[in-house]
A and B are shown apart, each in its own frame.
Chain A
Amino acid sequence: MSETPILQVKHLQKQFGTGCPHCLDKESVYVEKNYCTSCGTVHAVRDVSFDLYPGEVLGIVGESGSGKSTMLQGLYFDSDMTAGEVYINQPGLAGHNVLNLSSQQKRYIRNHVYGMVYQNPVHGLKMNFSSIGNIAEKMIAAGNRHVGSMEKRGEELLENVHIPLRRRKEEPQNFSGGMQQRVQIAKALSNNPPILFLDEVTTGLDLSVQASVLDLIKQIQRELHISMVVVSHDLAVIRMLADRSIVMLNGEIIEKGLTDQILEDPQHEYTQQLVYSLL
């Protein structure tokens, strides 16, 4: 594994509300979990820093409302962060805080460097366009203007995610939830992004589909050496996929380390509770 991280996140902050002197200190009596009782501000993400190394899978666990998805949306530029820095070690981008780039440059990063699989396929796919069109959209956005090559790549990917090719021209709205999720994964992978974000990809899928989607992600990761950030509240998913993990609570990182270590020997009170409630 290389020594230089491909993605560096430093002191990421996201708050909904203006904040007040009472909630500047997170230990203050006014702050209830991540909510300030004095000014009503919600501190969704508080001072989150981590590194992602090439080819690594980083798991992020935490209860619902702990800021996992908000952080991911911030990294993918779906929502603006209040403060913080993000660096991507890619040609032309190194040394720049990508959160401060113009929206055109951010779009370039989304189309060329990032892949995203949303929890709800509705956000990641155009439900009334064909599956192959959905996959092609990302390649078109990255500048491909050759129908033949996009069609070929799309078919390869659909085969990879086990969607029968006879349904390639069908709209995802006719597909089952698991199939939609797999189309979304195929789309995210279409131009071999070095960084892939997965937001609760298996939530809401039945167990057998869950297993095949996880299998697929694992296989893709091994073959293509894509760096991944996997967000989930499901420890089983994290245990299967992630090399290293971060535990979040109330918008903060409370524990980080090797996944095995966290699961075998949790330090923080909340992590202990989480691990012991694992069936």
Chain B
Amino acid sequence: MITKPHFAFFDEGSKKEIRRATLKAVAIPGYQVPFASREMPIARGWGTGGLQLTLSLIGKDDVLKVIDQGADESVNAVSIKKLVRHTTGVSVTEDTGEANIIQSRHRIPEKQLREDQILVLQVPNPEPLRKVEAREYLTKRMHAEDDYSGAWLLLFEQIMKYGRMSTGAEHPVYVNGRYMMTPSPIPRFDNPKMHQSKALILLGAGREKKIFAVPPYTDVKSLAFDDYPFAVESFEGKACKLCGSTDVFLDEIIDPDTGERSYQCNDTSFCMEHLNAKEKEEVENSYV
């Protein structure tokens, strides 16, 4: 006998527990709320935190978009989409504008999000102080006491060693002027997008069993020293070879045979949209 699975995989009790943790996280911006991370049909560390948030939030009328490393078609994004669709029957999309729940790993979409959208981010290491202090009860106390000198020290060390802040991803931020948060492994390029974001941003770490949030219109400030200001990755003088965009996060692609470097939009859906718009314009112009 094949039993019908629950809507959105979880039983109602589980969904409620995740929602309660989410509400608490929204109420205390940037604070890591512990929750009982469930066992999932995918392994921990593969986006279970984000997936649990998505499953607890999703309703029958929602439209879901899943991104992995900026791409809609990568393996992880596709299997998460399949799982959600299989257990809920909701429609999925690749269009950022169409979706109301966007689950993402590594990127915040280039297209500005709206108030009626929720961004769910998958977080591997939610604790910005972990590199300075291995013990959880001490990092909790450091958060409580507003003792963030350790995170500043990490940045100071990078400046001493490399002459600049060398965070590739997870550049720590202050949320609402109080809690320090690691903004999932998004590049520094996306940090400013969190500041005063119109969409609700939820962050889930399945392996570490933590949920935290940036509510809409909240101040998010990246850590920076007075004489070493925060700077995003620069792609000056480079453009996407497909759609020609310049003010976006670009991937560097090296041709293995010729060694030639080219650049391409990291956000595939944005690139596609851009290309289509361009094409449409060309077609319209040539047929008039």
Contact = CB atoms under 8 A, between A and B. Distances in A.
B153 A137 contact: yes
Given A126-B132, A130-B161, A137 B149 contact: yes
A133 B156 contact: yes
B227 A130 contact: no
Contacts of B225: 145-147
B98 interface: no
A256 interface: no
Interface string B124-136: 0000000010000
A136 B147 contact: no
B217 interface: no
B159 interface: yes
B235 interface: no
B230 interface: no
A151 B160 CA distance: 9
Contacts, number: 47
Interface string B204-228: 0000000000000000000001111
Interface residues of A, number: 19
A107 B227 CA distance: 26
A146 B227 contact: yes
Given A147-B227, A147-B228, A130 B145 contact: no
Contacts of A107: 145, 147
A146 B226 CA distance: 5
Contacts of A146: 225-227
B156 A140 contact: yes
A7 B226 CA distance: 35
A230 B70 CA distance: 59
Interface of A: 103-104, 107, 126, 129-130, 132-133, 136-137, 140-141, 145-148, 150-151, 169
Interface of B: 132, 141, 145-147, 149-150, 152-153, 156-157, 159-161, 225-228
